[in-house]
Amino acid sequence: MRLAKYLAHSGVGSRRACEQIVRDGRVSVGGEVVVDPARDVDGSEPVNVDGEAVRPAEALVVYAVNKPPGVVSTASDPQGRPTVVSLVPSDYRLYPVGRLDIDTTGLILLTNDGELAHRLTHPSFEIPKTYRARVASAPIRRQAIEALRRGVVLDDGPTAPARVRRVTADTFDLTIHEGRKRQVRRMCESVGHPVRSLARIAIGPLELGDLRPGAYRRLSDAEVAGLQAPSAGSTGRRAQASLP
């Protein structure tokens, strides 16, 4: 693991802040000052910041969850509604990566990795999310699909072009990389096809697959690396977040 990432996982600061701390000569590895944030460390040598030892507080984990309807995408809820975090028994302090509306189902991630959560949710990274929408006023009109592919104008401004694939006469898959409130529902309504049901089926290269509603599983290191990779937004074959 690179030194700056090791420090970030130890709670020293953000990755960028930790890179600067290293460059400032405040970090030693095995008793020697290191100024290269990309220096590899494996935990076998003591790492100190300003003379104080640091170690990652806990392992970083990511779970895929198939959120059922009626479950809120938060760690706790003052109204006492079930939360996605309550679906995953874990010794780690988990929190959801982004949100799904209470009536939207499908793939959501839980993690204790703040850096990964930032990458997957910040608009600058343009991580695509794919939704399967069953809509009213079938059959879906070609003009509606073309409008979504160009981008539509909502009350908070125009959207970026979406990738759209018709599945059946009343269902299509819509891929966007923005994260506005109820965006997919508003986009569909704007082209004359209000949503009847909506499920997120992919985040970047990770697909929901056959994970049952309410079920979860921990992602492998390879799947997490795929979410972190610069190519996470590619349209190639995606990994499956299905049960073994």
**What amino acid positions are annotated as catalytic residues?**
101
Q: Which residues contact 168 (CB under 8 A, 6 or more apart)?
A: none
Spell out the residues 6+ positions from residue 150 whose beta carbon is closer than 8 angstroms to its own.
161
CB atoms within 10 A of CB 220: 11
CA distance 153 to 155: 7
Structure tokens at 84: 């996605």
**What are the φ/ψ torsions at residue 124 (nearest 5 degrees)?**
-65, -25
Q: Count of CB atoms within 10 A of residue 75's CB?
A: 14
Helix (H, G, I), strand (E, B) or coil at 223: helix
Q: Give how far the C-alpha of residue 31 lies from the chain's centroid of Cα atoms, to the nearest Å.
A: 38
Q: Count Cβ atoms below 10 Å from residue 222 Cβ, excluding itself.
A: 8
Q: What is the H or E stretch that residue 231 is in?
A: none
List 131's β-bridge partners, or say none.
174, 200
Cα–Cα distance measured from residue 59 to residue 42, given in angstroms and rounded to the nearest whole number:
13
